Chain A
Amino acid sequence: AQTVTQSQPEMSVQEAETVTLSCTYDTSESDYYLFWYKQPPSRQMILVIRQEAYKQQNATENRFSVNFQKAAKSFSLKISDSQLGDAAMYFCAYRSVWPDNYGQNFVFGPGTRLSVLP
């Protein structure tokens, strides 16, 4: 079974600075998806960024980028120019490509709580 680990329960960053959230995972599969979801105080889960394992290029979404190291099974999230609205719980998630009913193989990490200091 796959597992996702986030070793930083809490992180803080100064506004406008850069912060990196770490995520490692364990799998024997070669094809899969990785995600970072954000859960702000409103509690709705919001997709931040997505990475397909077969792609070597790191995904980027505006101020958010990932460092995907497939061999090391590492998937860190970098937030640049941090804003107060970035304060939230961040979950790293893994999803198998197969089988098709992938809710049961969509695995979430324990989360990292990010605080942004003004």
Chain B
Amino acid sequence: GAVVSQHPSWVICKSGTSVKIECRSLDFQATTMFWYRQFPKQSLMLMATSNEGSKATYEQGVEKDKFLINHASLTLSTLTVTSAHPEDSSFYICSARGVAGGTGELFFGEGSRLTVL
């Protein structure tokens, strides 16, 4: 199956700093990638959809200026949490779908746990 890699798997930062999380599709080209946030013992919450070469589409309630998403190539999307605060601490997961056709599923990265002190 298709492989999506996410890095870093965990990060600890000080309040006020920015953190960048990378999501790469390793063996396929991903025209669209998705960023989710997951709170403990809860389901995935879609934050935004990023399309290669265009601006991301954010879900209602997600701050665009705080969660910057860039999808500069068909294999890489990045999520930057700007001026992070403790309430931004969470588990962030990216997923991707292929260029065309496919079986309808999403392929997920390993997730990144962010802890803001």
List residues of A whose CB falls within 8 A of some B CB.
Answer: 33, 35, 37, 42-47, 50, 52, 91, 95, 97, 101-104, 106, 108-111, 113
Query: Does B104 contact A52, Cβ atoms closer than 8 Å?
Result: yes
Query: Does A106 contact B106, Cβ atoms closer than 8 Å?
Result: yes
Query: Does A108 contact B104, Cβ atoms closer than 8 Å?
Result: no
Query: Does B103 contact A43, Cβ atoms closer than 8 Å?
Result: no
Pick from B32, B104, B110, B113: contact of A50, CB below 8 A: B104
Query: Does B44 contact A108, Cβ atoms closer than 8 Å?
Result: yes
Query: Does B57 contact A104, Cβ atoms closer than 8 Å?
Result: yes
CA distance A76 to B52 in the complex (A): 35
Chain B interface extent, by class: 20 to 34
The reply to whether the CB of B87 lies closer than 8 angstroms to some CB of chain A is no
Residues in A with CB closer than 8 Å to B78 are: none
A-B contact pairs, 13 of them (CB 8 A): A33-B104, A35-B105, A42-B110, A45-B93, A46-B108, A50-B105, A52-B104, A91-B44, A103-B49, A104-B57, A108-B43, A110-B43, A113-B41
Query: Does A109 contact B43, Cβ atoms closer than 8 Å?
Result: yes
